Structure 1
């Protein structure tokens, strides 16, 4: 079998890369083992233009928000699902300095921050909160598992998905192509999250293992019109009465598995915040493919021109993956430049070691 591309991984990066290549009528094979607690599957799917204790606008937010709205809706039409939902965030600051940061941004006329569109009395009926409430608008939610599984079915229907673990030891690099288990391809692209950090080709990149945990919870009667944010704790509706509650941001950890400590702390926080009954459905944990610079890895190996990467999106994968997947496809097919802040060629020296 001969194809134009092999893609390793069908998380959010592999999904968008495959989608854009197929739109360009390119042939491909995707290798993925359908690990439901991968970073993409376990993610809450939130696209939030504001971040951090200083309440700053996220990198490229003004450009990315209209782009992702258009592109996720187009992907949703292809898959016959709703690809993206607008759900603004109601933020409940937990300290005076956080409240002051939001007030300062409103004074500066930050276009994403406003007074809440819900009455405080209405919110007090559901939540305990000591300070003001602010609304971040617009914010979007991607229902990750339905989206990824729908695209998986789409690939399966085209007979271009291999449900298997990729074994790099069996990869053969030729001058003009690569070969893997009887498949010849012009290029191979690593879109497999933290697994790429173990690759002989990409292991020198400054990946950062960032562990995230979240609880899937049943919360009876909580209004699903909004996302609710209390410090690091974010509540995102997956469906009626079923909520994603997370997540941690752990750079040091003894185990990659879910921990009782996270569960205990999250339950205690919810009991202090929420005036609703709740129960735990599931507990997820995954490693995000983050980077030291908090910028993605996009492009081709300086020594192996047919080995590429689309990776390192961290906690911003839902917004960054479609943008850089499209940019990578435009670069491969039409020689359009990659963003120098994301172009993996910035690590040419370390990759040459």
Structure 2
């Protein structure tokens, strides 16, 4: 079997990049084991234009956000299933100083695409927001599990997916092409999250794995808006409430922890005091974050036609649509990668 690209991994990165390649006419084969996509499958799928304690515009937002909705809507049409949910995000103010600051920020041209309203009054009786808050637009979440499952079925229907481990020891190069079992590929692309840490090609990259825990609850308070301050609180289509997330660089080998659960509940209590904490699910995943919190894109400096598209961390849903387009341009010789994401920034570690 001859292909243009052999992709290792079908998480959110492998899914979107393989779709871009197939749409451009390339022949693709993906190796993946669904059970290994723990990070993508546990993630909430949130895309949020204003983040962090200081409530600043997401890094590179003006490039990232115009690509999000068109790309995922294309996948909805391809797979004939609902995947993307546009939801406003409400971020309560902690004090009157924040309210005053955002009244001034609201006229800034760079925020107009993302800022719906600056509220000076509470939004809901159930929310702890005596100073009001900001209402964001061009935000929402992606149903990642549904995307990965539906896309895997689509790939299998076209014989484009191998649901099996990828054994790098069986890989070799001959006459400029990569050979693996019955496959001959022009190029290899590693989209397999933390699995790339075990690759002989990319084990030198400074991944910084982060553990995240997410809860699902039952509640009578089911607002349309996502409430986000310290934790996010999302009303899912079935009216389940999803809340998270923790960020831990320790206890990576442990599953869900009591400490993580209590941390989420404590933060939730500050924005939406819960009288009915009926916990229905507690999940955890390890995110493929990086040392500098920027993704890993680019070509291996020594091995011919070996690439990586990885390290998207907690913001993969926002980052992958834009950077998959940039990666496609790299394959086609149209673009040079930005220094912020190019793995050349870490060549000193080889």
Same fold at TM > 0.5: yes
Displacement of 1:39 in angstroms is: 1.1
Is the 1:13–1:321 contact (alpha carbons within 8 Å) kept by the matching residues of 2? yes
Query: How many corresponding residue pairs?
Result: 347
- 2:22 counterpart residue number: 22
Q: Distance in 2 between matches of 1:97 and 1:134?
A: 13
Displacement of 1:316 in angstroms is: 1.4
**In 2 relative to 1, CA 313–101 (structure 1 residues): closer, same or farther, beyond 3 Å?**
farther
Consecutive unaligned residues of structure 2, counting only runs of 5 or more, are none
Taking structure 2 as the reference length, the TM-score comes to 0.91
- 2:253 counterpart residue number: 255
Taking structure 1 as the reference length, the TM-score comes to 0.90
- 2:273 counterpart residue number: 274
Consecutive unaligned residues of structure 1, counting only runs of 5 or more, are none
Mean Cα deviation higher: 25-34 or 89-98: 89-98
SS of structure 2 residue aligned to 1:123: coil
The answer as to 2:132 corresponding to 1:145 is no
Q: Distance in 1 between matches of 2:322 and 2:198?
A: 25
Displacement of 1:181 in angstroms is: 2.2
- 1:113 counterpart residue number: 115
Is the 1:211–1:256 contact (alpha carbons within 8 Å) kept by the matching residues of 2? no
- 1:192 counterpart residue number: 192
Is the 2:89–2:140 contact (alpha carbons within 8 Å) kept by the matching residues of 1? no
Is the 1:36–1:42 contact (alpha carbons within 8 Å) kept by the matching residues of 2? no
Q: Distance in 1 between matches of 2:198 and 2:104?
A: 44
Q: Distance in 2 between matches of 1:130 and 1:62?
A: 31
The answer as to 2:131 corresponding to 1:127 is no
Is the 1:128–1:275 contact (alpha carbons within 8 Å) kept by the matching residues of 2? no
- 2:326 counterpart residue number: 327
Q: Distance in 1 between matches of 2:165 and 2:324?
A: 22
Q: Which aligned pairs between 1:26-105 and structure 2 lie closer than 5 A?
A: 26-35=26-35, 38-94=38-94, 102-103=102-103, 105=105
SS of structure 2 residue aligned to 1:208: coil
- 2:176 counterpart residue number: 176
The CA RMSD measured in Å over matched residues stands at 2.3
The answer as to 2:214 corresponding to 1:214 is yes
Q: Distance in 2 between matches of 1:36 and 1:216?
A: 22
Is the 1:217–1:279 contact (alpha carbons within 8 Å) kept by the matching residues of 2? yes
Q: Distance in 2 between matches of 1:11 and 1:101?
A: 39
Displacement of 1:99 in angstroms is: 5.1
Mean Cα deviation higher: 95-104 or 84-93: 95-104
